[in-house]
Amino acid sequence: MAKKSKIPEGKIKCPECGLLIEEGLTFCPECGNRIPPWAQFNPNS
């Protein structure tokens, strides 16, 4: 099955809660954490 670390294209993972959110968002809609610049790109793409 899919690897656990795989992130869908166009998504980024919130470093705080781990929720997959839309790439380019500044804040996580789940926990309100500010997404740092290093998380603004998808390392799998």
Cα distances from 26 to residues 1, 2, 4, 31, 42, in angstroms, run: 31, 27, 24, 12, 14
* Per-residue contact flags (x/-) with Zn ion for residues 2 to 41, judged by CB under 5 A: ------------x-xx-x--------x-xx-x--------
Please give the distance of CA 44 from its chain centroid, rounded to a whole number.
11
Q: How far is the CB of 35 from Zn ion (least distance, A)?
A: 8
Q: Which of 17, 40 has the CB closer to Zn ion? A: 17
Q: Which residues bind Zn ion (CB under 5 A)?
A: 14, 16-17, 19, 28, 30-31, 33
